[in-house]
Every structure is written in structure tokens, then in C-alpha cells.
Chain A
Amino acid sequence: MNPFTYSRVVDPNEAVTGIAAKPQGKFLGGGTNLIDLMKMGVETPDALIDINRLPLAQIEELPDNKGVRVGAMVRNSDLAEHALIRSRYPVLSEALLSGASPQLRNMATVGGNLLQRTRCYYFYDPAFPACNKRNPGSSCGAIDGYNRIHAILGQSEQCIATHPSDMCVALAALDAIVRVRGPKGEREIPFADFHRLPGNTPQRDTNLEHDELIEYVDLPAIPFASRSHYLKVRDRASYAFALVSVAAALDFDSSKKIKAARIALGGVAHKPWRANAAEKKLIGQPADEKTFRAAGEAELAAAKGYKHNSFKIELAKRAIVRALTTLGGMA
């Protein structure tokens, strides 16, 4: 770990001013990912600005039934267990509880989780010479290396890393809005625009600017999200990142045909992958296995596997079918 300065802020404006003055600085939330990356020498900030005392730890209903606002400093465990989340957005609660371990969830924050970095082996260990995300222009160690946990959708020749968060997969399905504060004031970033695909700039995970602070995540009101589900496939029963995961919500019309669908996939791409093609396939269809399989096929049509991860393509299709079947059964 490199030497760095440490300071603590209690006001969001102070945080923004502070970070703007430190181009190599970082905000410190729960620290469950950042400190780990600093120990590995992957992140080498010269300043840590501790934002744990910012007044951003509330979960509250938005006025006019517009949904729920979640403060960036809310701990993962608190969010998962909150009555509003459990009743209105079970997919989010399930996603959170499927991630990490109780100890990590007690520390990890919502804002930090949005900025969680990939578990790509070649990124995580600086002794690997090749990683475009860590060291732009050094090539990708994973494409011809060990790529069992890597992306099958939306990847580029520059980077095939995946986004590791479970929570973000649920937020992608729920069309969450990320509210941030910068030197010029506040702005809203729709969830689909928050994380980036790697393209030619894999070093940038998100569209958040360096001098911006995540303040809130807004969950819009989606009545049918009370019937939503998170399915996670993994190598061991707990404390493992998703091989593939599915966040899904379904709405049905009076004839039990699918009226609306929200599906996002985890473990398959550089960002939480909103399954637009699958959703489109479902609308107006009966909720049966044939429909679900067709949706899975449609979403994975563009998938490309590598030496060790091609199994994810079939795995993702099966996960979509199973998640939707579970929701269909709840109809």
C-alpha cells in the first residue's frame, strides 16, 4: 500500500470540493473493495476522503408515490432488510443477500457497490503485465489466458472483464436513477448509462466524473416489482461471485399474458446487462417455458464465449428460464 493522506468530511459539498482538489484522491466508503485494491497495489490514491459521516444513510419514500430514495451511505445489510425494499423490490433484497458475506454486507455501502471493480484476475494482480483496464495499452491478459469468469456479452478486444456486483443487476432491472453531486451541482444518471461497456476505454468503469459524489439511488415506483426475483448461479453456495445471475420482474394482463418484463443479467458483461431483447420477446406471450426459452435464446444470440467461459451462454439461458418460471409460478 502506498502512503496517502486521510481526511474526513461531514458535508457533501465539502466532499466534492475536497475530491476536486485531489485528482488522484478517492472517496472512502465501507472500504470493502477499495482497501483490498490498495493492498494489492491496484489502486494507489494519494488521498482518501472518508465520507462515512455524510448524512446519506436514509431509506425513505419519495413523495407522490414516486418510489424510494436510498442514500449512498446505506449499508448493504440495512438495505436488504428494509421493509420497503423487501415488500416493493424483493429482487433487490435477494440480490444483496446473495452477495459477499454478512461481515462485508455490514460494511459495504450502496454508493461503493456501484463503483465495485472487476474481479478479473489480470486486473487484480499488478504482477500480471497485461491488463488494459489497469494499465491502458498493455493488452488483455484474459482473452488468451484463464477466462472462466469473464464476459460473453458486450466485451471488446480490449477487455473481457465482468462487473461483479449483485446489487447492481437488480438496480439495472429496476431502472434505478443515480443522483450525483459535482462542482456544478446535482445531476441524474439513468442506471443504464451509469456503467460503461469496455470499448476502447476499459480503464473507465462508469460515467461518473472524478469530482462527482454519488448521493442517492432512486428506485422508481414499479408496482409489479413486488413480484420480482434474483437468481444467482455460482461455484459454491455462499461467498462466491455469480457465474451468471438474473434479476427479473414480470407483469401480467388479465388473460395471464405477459404485459411487462424487466430482466437484467449479472456475470456476463462489463456492466449489469439489461436484457432488452429478452424482454421484447416476452411481451404479449403466455408465461410458459417455451416463451422463456425463446427470450433466453434471443438475449444470448449475440453472445461470444472464450476458451473457459462458453458454458455461461447455456447457463444464462437456463437461468433466465428458471427465474421467469419462478415468477410465472407466483402469478
Chain B
Amino acid sequence: MNTPTVGKPLTRVDGRLKVTGAATYAAEFQRPQLAYGTLIQSAIANGHVVKLDTSAAKSAPGVVAILTRENTPGFKPYPDDLTKKGAPGENRMPLQDDEVHYAGQHLGVVVAETFEQATYAASLVRVTYQAQSPIIDLPDQRAANTATTPEKFIGREDLQVKRGDADGALAGAAHKIDATYSTPVENHNPIETYSTTAEWEAADRLLVHECTRGIKQLQRILAACFGLPVEHIRIICPFIGGAFGSKGFQWSQTLLAAAAARLLQRPVKLTFSRSQMFDSAGQRAQTEQHFTVGADKNGKLVALRHATTTHSSPISEYTEPCGNMSRMLYSCPNVDVTHRLVKLNLTSPCPMRAPGECPGVFALECAMDEIAHETGIDPVEFRLRNYADRDEHQNRPWSMKNLRECYERGADKFGWSKRNQKPASMRGRDGSQIGFGMATAIYPAAQQKAGATATLNQDGTVVVRSATHEIGTGTYTAMSQFAADTLGLPVEKIRFELGDSAFPVAPNNGGSWLTASVGPAVIGACGELKKKVLDQFGHWPNERELSSLSAPIRSEFTSEPNKEERGKFSFFSYGAIFVEVHVDIFGQTRVKRATGVYDVGRMINPKLARSQIMGGLLFAISTALFEATIPDQATGRVVNSNLAEYHVAVHADAPPEFDIDFIDKPDPHMPDLGARGIGEIGITGAPAAVANAIFHATGKRVRNLPITPDKLI
């Protein structure tokens, strides 16, 4: 038997492929007779197309086809569960009408022999519009006229929740705060932009290479929209160059590439430019979050109201669920959480890393800092006084919660006791103002149905397959560890394969549930395989026995969440994050230290886990200080749709060291592993820790992100 690898800091099994460029990403797949597509996009944000003149484009060198409304097939609608009840997909099929709902909306595809010819020809397309003034801002009165109060987030979570009597309790509260926080539109900006290559292998068989973290979902979408059996669609995606919430929902480019390929009877590749990542790939919605919080004289919360206004595009009903953690993160008898949705002429929003939790916990954790300050209680102490020993929203016990230990260990490691509670009281040698801030991190721990196969080959290797995804988080590595440990083999004997819709079912990669969902399937399939092999040989076969196998030995397993167990407990991961910021006389904020202690269940691979949290924290610093997609008020076009003007944190913005620690106790109610997921929690809470530290440094409470120099001088 080999020593178990779970819990060991294994290096990525696909690391070498990636750093040598041997890992093949979607845009790198070459097909015979490949033609290149470029989008024709709307320059206006509201109105309709009067005329689309493609005459000059048609005669440009290399152009082989132009797909417009006139020659686009009538797609069947997207599956309802992907577009209704707050699901993130657009409910409008592309190129079926002349209406324009946001700038950058797709109006057609120019296809040419080369990418350069396609982009040049697209620049020759002349579009005449009947334009109306776009609605861009949440406070716009015309937006208010579209307001609704949606019931559900992606059909799952309740968005309007009331417990007790918040109004009554606020009236008698000893301490109160009333504050509005706002967060801007943000874009995911993975390194890899979208790319789809569509190819009809037969009149009714479609092969798609696309960077999607929803392989099975995309297969289902294409089958539905082209009216084909699901098994006639094949999606291939071995690597994804980052997603952060993008690449998981239907946007029109897959249908358009497939329609163009059908029209041409050639494979067509459609790859987005960076600027198209800002108008064609989803984004995080703007939010405005009004908090009214009351506490008694001992600093015990008596009422918490969290009213969110957010937006969607006119052709989607996705709602950023900011208030979900406010329902239960703290013990509070009177809670009122509401969500109001308005329609703006901006690209359809979708989840972005920790959808709802990122902006929502930012606002909640700033509000906690404000009420703690109001009551004169240390922010850590305030949170301990309001510690929730059970989920008061669902009225259930937690599956496991070590948040208290996160606070205590984090405060100790950070040196929180050295904090002078008075704002603007600490100075650096260079004259900059120093602030310590903290916040709670929280993210749900979900599990989905997943399947896997495991096959023992004559050469002694075991191939394990599941239609899951590698978005850069370490799926290949973690799944190889599970397989190796279950079979008692070295990791080198395992080949984990993913990214093919022909493999057993796996959920969309999202919700930080991949490991907890696909892990049990891999463990199950490998367990079955081991049993089969042992039944046959009585022991694990040696080389000679293996080579005499008449056929590989194969097993399959499907794991599903235990509904009864899931109904008994509330499942969340937690963390406590502490940061030190320095703010200079120009309002430039630098995060100098960050300490985070996380309770995420069992650690599968501490090296990858640390990387995940580090990436999450850097993402959070970026959210707090830099990121904002700015639409022009007059035209609705994004003014900063490039990486020079849309700022994401760079190396120089990272603190010299991230002090990251884990409680590392398996959750007894999570299946097999006791691991709760780690993908998104790093970005929750930390933006508030930065904002709270800035308040502590300067005495200025900035409630609208990002906190740029102009807001501090």
C-alpha cells in the first residue's frame, strides 16, 4: 500500500503541461478547413437595428460568409431552467429580431479564411440604428419603473426573507446604524478569453471545442436549440484558462459559431477579444445595499435589515443575491432581507466568483464594523458576542463550525491586540496612516450529483473519467489523489481525464462544489474497481498478471448528495481575515499584511488550497481597491474595456506575504472526505476587511467600491 496522498502538498499533476505550453486550450485546437469568425456588435445600447449593410464586408478579401438575422436559423429556445426563476441565462435567442438591449449585443458573425480578414471585414459592416437613450444607472427613475422583487436565486435560494419584527426592534435599539453600500459592475477577466470551435461531423452531429465549465449543460443547450438528441452533441474542453464565474452559462457565441459552421459546411472558430469579455461574457451586477442594524447596550444584535437593489439586463432575470449570508451569519432575532431587481441596458449579468456573497458580505461586514464602532466594542469581540450557534434562518444546526477558532487564531497570528481602537491613530514612519481591519468570510458548502468511471489497463495504469472541468483550481490533481488513495496506487499510475461530454455526468464547475461532488464519484468508481480486481485476483495483480488480462477491468459509480443528511444540517465554510493597510497622502492604499484562518473541512492538498485562498485574497484586494467596469452614461458602452484601464491587482499590489492557515478538521456530515470547498471563500469578507482597515487608518468610511485615491484625499 502506498501512503495516502490526501492532505499532502502534491504538486499539480498537470503543472508541467501548463508551464511548457503543452496543455491545449480551446482556441488552440486546429481543425481541417477551419474558418474564423468575428462578431458584428451593436454600438448602441438601446433601440433597434434599421439596416445592416454588409455589402463592403462581403467583398473584402477572404470573407466566406456573413451570418446575420436574415440567414440565421430559427433556434429553438434555451431550456427553461437556465433562463427562468432567476437563472443567469439570457432568455432571448440570438439574431432572431432587430431589438438592441445593450451595447456590444451580437448582430452577426463575419467568417473568413483568417482571423485578420474576418476582423477587418467586420469593421466594414455599416449598421443604421434607431437609438433610444439607454438606462445605465440604478438610481435612474426609468429603471425604477422596471423594478420587481424576485422570489428566487437560480430557482434555489429565497430572496425575500423576514424573521421577527425588525422595525419594532430597531425602534427600541440602544445603538443603530443606517448606511448604504454600493458595488460597481465588475468583469471576470480570466487570462483565457472565450473561444468556441464548432464543427458538424454529420448533418445532425455537432462537435464543439469550447472553454466551458458546464460541459453537460452546453451539450443540453445545443441539443435543445438545434433540436437534436443530446448524444449527437459532443463538447471537448480539457483545460480552461480561468473562469471566475464566466464560461458557465449560455451566451450566444456557441449557437452562432455552430450556425455559421452549418451554413458554411466548415468548422468555424469564434474567439473573443479582451474587450468582448466586457460586453459578451457576463459580468457582476451593480448593487446598492441599504443596511439598518440595531444593537442593545451590550452589543447584541437586535435587528438587521439588508435591502439590496441590483440590476439585470432587459433579457435576463438573474439577481445578484446579496442578502443570503445576512440571513444567518450572526445571531439576530429580527431579520429582514429583501432584493429588488431593475432592468438596465447593460450586458446580462451572471455569477462572478462568490455571486452575492462577495458584494453582500462586503456590505454586511462593513455594517458590522460600523455598529461595533458605534457601540465602542472591538470588532472581533463584537462578532463573538453575536456568534450564531445554529442556523437561525433554516433553524438547523451547522454541519460543523469552527469560526470562533478562526477569529481567535487569526487575531493572535495577526497581532490584533496591538490595534489602537481609535480610528486614524496609527502612523507609519513614512507618514502614511496605518489601519487594521478584519471581517468574517463565509461560503455555502454544496454538493451535486456526479459520476465517474475507472478502468484498469493491462499496463497497470488506471484511467478515471468524469465530465468535469479544470479551470485552474487543481481538479486533475485532487481527483488523481482520490483515485490513488482509494486504489492504494502511486499517483503516477493514475490518469484522470475530464472535459469530454462523453464521460459520466458531472455538475457545472461552480459553487465551490467540485471536489465535494466529483470526489465521491471518483472514490466510488475506484472502490468498485478495486473490489472487482480483488474478486478476480484475490490481490492487486502484478505485472505478469496484468499483461495477461484479456480486457481492461472497468467500473462506474454515481454519487448523489444524501438528501436526508443535507436536510438536517446547514453547510458552510468559514474564515476570519485580518489586514493591515497603509494609506498615504495621495489616498493610495497598499495592503501590507493579510492573515486569514479558514475552516473549510478536510484539506485535500494544502499546496493547492493555499494557492486558492491566496488567489481569492488577491481577488478581494482587487475588488476592494481597483475593479470597476464603467459604462458611459450617454452611450452605454464600457469606457475601460481593456486590462490597462480596468485595473486588476498586479504583483506589486500583493502584500509581501499572505499568512494563510486552516483549521483542517473534516466535516463529519460531508460525504467521504469531509471537505467543504474552497474556491470562493477567499474573496468573501476580505474586501470588507480592507475597507474596515481603511476606516481605521483614516477615519473615513468609504461605502462605495472600489476605494480609489479620489475617495480618500
- Chain A: residues with CB nearer than 8 A to chain B? 1-3, 41, 119, 121-122, 124-125, 127-129, 141, 144-146, 148-149, 233-241, 243-244, 308, 311, 314-315, 318-319, 322
Contacts and interface: CB of A to CB of B under 8 A. Distances in A.
Contacts of B626: 235-236
A315 B586 contact: yes
Contacts of A319: 586
Using C-beta atoms within 8 Å of the partner chain, give the interface range for chain B: 35 or more
A122 B634 CA distance: 12
Contacts of B123: 2, 41
A243 B709 contact: yes
Interface stretch (B302-310, B379-387, B638-646, B660-668): B638-646
B52 to A, nearest CB: 15
Contacts of B635: 128-129
A204 to B, nearest CB: 24
B709 A235 contact: yes
Interface of B: 43, 61, 103, 116, 119-120, 123, 275, 585-588, 590, 625-626, 630, 632-635, 637, 639-642, 644-645, 647, 649-653, 708-710, 713
B588 A233 contact: yes
Contacts of B649: 236
A311 B709 contact: yes
A244 B709 CA distance: 11
Nearest to B649: A236
B637 A239 contact: no
Nearest to A130: B634
Contacts of B119: 1
Contacts of A121: 632, 639-640, 645
A211 B639 CA distance: 33
B652 A144 contact: no
A192 B694 CA distance: 41
A239 B622 CA distance: 14
Given A1-B120, A241-B644, A236 B709 contact: no
Contacts, number: 90
Those 3 A-B pairs whose CB atoms lie nearest each other, nearest first: A237-B652, A121-B639, A238-B652
B625 A236 contact: yes
16 contacts: A125-B641, A146-B632, A146-B639, A148-B710, A149-B645, A235-B626, A238-B652, A238-B653, A240-B647, A243-B709, A311-B713, A314-B713, A315-B709, A315-B713, A322-B585, A322-B586
Contacts of B645: 119, 121, 149
B430 to A, nearest CB: 11
Contacts of A236: 625-626, 647, 649-650, 652-653
A105 to B, nearest CB: 14
Contacts of B710: 148, 243, 308, 311, 315
A235 B708 contact: yes
A146 B640 CA distance: 10
B584 to A, nearest CB: 9
A119 B645 CA distance: 9
Contacts of B639: 121-122, 125, 145-146
Nearest to B61: A3
Contacts of A128: 632, 635, 637
A149 B61 CA distance: 39
B365 to A, nearest CB: 23
A26 B645 CA distance: 26
Contact of A234 (B585, B588, B633, B642): B588
A127 B650 contact: no
A149 B630 CA distance: 13
A237 B634 contact: no
Contacts of A146: 630, 632-633, 639
A233 B586 contact: yes
A107 B713 CA distance: 36
Contacts of A314: 713
Contacts of A235: 625-626, 647, 708-709
B555 to A, nearest CB: 49
B634 A141 contact: yes
Given A128-B635, A235-B625, A236-B626, 19 more contacts: A1-B119, A2-B120, A2-B123, A121-B639, A122-B632, A124-B642, A127-B637, A145-B633, A146-B630, A148-B710, A235-B708, A235-B709, A236-B652, A237-B653, A240-B647, A243-B710, A311-B713, A318-B586, A318-B713
A311 B588 CA distance: 13
A236 B643 CA distance: 12
B124 to A, nearest CB: 9
Contacts of B708: 235
A1 B116 CA distance: 7
Contacts of A308: 710
A296 to B, nearest CB: 12
Contacts of A311: 709-710, 713
